[in-house]
Structure 1
Amino acid sequence: MNSATHPISFPEPTIIAVNGVELEVFEAGRHNAGRPIVLCHGFPDLAYTWRNQVPALVAAGYRVIAPNQRGYGNSSRPAEVVAYDIEHLTGDLVALLDHFGYADATFIGHDWGAFVVWSLTLLHPERVNGVIALSLPYLVRGDVPWLDFMEAVLGSDYYFVHFNRKPGVADAVFDADPARFLNNLYRRNEPVMPPQPGMVLIETARTETPSGDPLLSESELSVYTTAFESSGFTGGINWYRNLNRAWHQLADADPIVQQPALMIYGERDAVAQAEHLATFVPDVEEISLDSGHWIHQERPEETNRAIVTWLKAQEASAG
């Protein structure tokens, strides 16, 4: 993707070989070399999701590193499902720090990116000096693997479960018309609705009458559409297909997040807020914004203010 497809002055990418793959990485603020922040997108998203955060973070004095993670954009898309497990995904981030010569960094993640960042703090705690998570709180590792629990409680049509039990079905639906799927998914001001029957993301991809209002401008939607027409959605879906594997891979990790953390919720997000987050993340600040799921895109100025305020407070407390 070049500057012609990035109307909001997004940085030019560099292809970097790390951890056995190549990642498409967007950087800004090199003059702020000593204060790195790594931005981790979710599904089905791109580093471009942070287009409104990058300038604000650079202006606040931070160096920003935003990868298209494996499976996305022009980054590698391995064929094997297990290549997307949590050890590989966190390993990519550790290798990025090594590439840039950083012992640690602050990590910001949204959606699946938040799960990766939370997991990074457990598997490689020495590489993380702070966590900012949007939408997805820390996921407690219970006695039953996550997918098995979801299937028992939410049924086989729940999209996490469907991705695993019916591999390839959703992928084909999304790939058939990326522009419609993405436009139908990226919405704001959606009415709160009770759970609907069927596989919600497949229904979203197929509907002719999406609810709410479009979140993305035509030029922004074009960036997403171009990327997913090239990559397809399977790489990102494969993250879901490793959720039970992650449950096993995190078994021996200390479940308590020791790093300071900021948790940003959307008050109208379908993702549930954590009731007892501080039990597992003792040094956490929790805030809510009037937003749906795409918090940092729906409320960029409020999100930026919350992030920068928290970062500055951490620096002040560190002395």
Structure 2
Amino acid sequence: MFNPADFPKPNFISVNGVELEVFEAGLENAGNPIVLCHGWPEHAFSWRYQMPALAAAGYHVIVPNQRGYGHSSRPSEVTGYDIKHLSGDLVGLLDHYGYEDATFVGHDWGAMAVWGLTLLHPSRVKRLINLSVPYQERWEKPWIEMMEQVFGSDFYFVHFNRQLGVADAVLEENTFQFLRNMYRKNLPLAEPAPGMMMINLAKAEAPIGEPVMSDRELAVFVSAFETSGFTSSINWYRNLDRNWHLLADVDPIIQQPALMIYGDRDPVAKSENLSDFVPNVEVINLDCGHWIQQERPEETNQAILNWLEQQTAT
């Protein structure tokens, strides 16, 4: 397990009207940037096993707590978390360091941010690696509207959008319990329980499966969300339909070389037509659940480094 004391100390960088808490490794490798984008409910600390490996491989590793997380800015307006703002923050980071482009890596919502960044600012993305969440094609109707029709009002994406503040309050009342119950692996197969999944997790007194991390590692996430609360990060979900409109006139095809890493036991569905939208994609499957880079750090590092080596050799 990782000792949290070994995680780098952050710098605070002003970009795009906000201040981001940014962790770095491999500063001696200036000129070869790789930006790691965490998901929900996560933190830059979720990349703790990848940072030293990438730095040792010659990369300047840049890992922001994205807006709404940790000690980064938390704008009060819901629209401050749309894909235009999220991708603008990442472009602002490149500008801060003087980089024209970079390799971007995303997990979960971080993957969605990286897909969106590549669509909106293709010249700033050299290549991309995403974990868990594949490219989401733009459906005929806005995403939340479609999810409500297909999955119903208790589906957490829909609930976050239709019942503002309800889940936020439950998660904040049960921060430790929610995150302890969330960060599990090797879960037994079971039918989904009725009700809203995230609220159920926050209220469950006993976790199932096995812990993904040590108590000391978990404490980093718990402390971060006790500081930030959950509303600002949940606001990312509250912009899905806005993002659908913002991406209406964007070329939907991603031309950059891409690596997609799935966990075979991840409840997030794999894409059936990924190469239609990302023609230069390679797909790797690992034997794990949703928290890929934390459940299988060595295998994740090897997959990333092997692919990057292939890319730089061609």
Q: Report what 2:223 is aligned to.
A: 226
Aligned partner of residue 296 in structure 1, secondary structure: helix
Q: How far apart, in 2, do the equivalents of 1:170 and 1:29 lie?
A: 39
User: Is 2:16 aligned against 1:19?
Assistant: yes
Number of equivalences: 313
Q: Deviations over 1:94-139 (max 9, x none)?
A: 0000000000000000000000000111000000000100000000
Q: CA deviation at 1:215?
A: 1.1
Q: Report what 1:293 is aligned to.
A: 290
Aligned partner of residue 64 in structure 1, secondary structure: strand
Q: Report what 2:69 is aligned to.
A: 72
Equivalence map 1:67-146=2 (5 Å): 67-146=64-143
* Contact 2:4 2:220 survives alignment (8 Å): no
> Which one of the candidate residues 296, 299, 303 is aligned to 1:302?
299
> Which one of the candidate residues 175, 189, 195 is aligned to 1:178?
175
Aligned partner of residue 6 in structure 2, secondary structure: coil
Q: Report what 2:280 is aligned to.
A: 283
Q: Report what 1:154 is aligned to.
A: 151
Q: Report what 2:196 is aligned to.
A: 199
Normalised to the residue count of structure 2, the TM-score between the two structures is 0.98
Q: Percent identity?
A: 64
Q: How far apart, in 2, do the equivalents of 1:309 and 1:260 lie?
A: 14
Amino acid at match of 2:216: S
User: Is 2:270 aligned against 1:273?
Assistant: yes
Q: Report what 2:161 is aligned to.
A: 164
Q: CA deviation at 1:166?
A: 0.3
Q: CA deviation at 1:6?
A: 6.2
* Contact 1:8 1:51 survives alignment (8 Å): no
CA RMSD of aligned residues (A): 1.0
Amino acid at match of 1:56: A
Q: Report what 1:241 is aligned to.
A: 238
Amino acid at match of 1:183: R
Normalised to the residue count of structure 1, the TM-score between the two structures is 0.97
Q: In structure 2, do the counterparts of structure 1 residues 6 and 12 end up closer, same or farther at CA, with 3 Å as the change threshold? A: farther
Q: How far apart, in 1, do the equivalents of 2:3 and 2:163 lie?
A: 35
* Contact 2:262 2:270 survives alignment (8 Å): yes
Q: CA deviation at 1:276?
A: 1.2
Amino acid at match of 2:187: E
* Contact 2:37 2:104 survives alignment (8 Å): yes
Q: How far apart, in 1, do the equivalents of 2:213 and 2:313 lie?
A: 36
Q: How far apart, in 2, do the equivalents of 1:289 and 1:70 lie?
A: 29
* Contact 1:186 1:294 survives alignment (8 Å): yes
**Which consecutive residues of structure 2, in runs of 5 or more, have no partner in the other structure?**
none
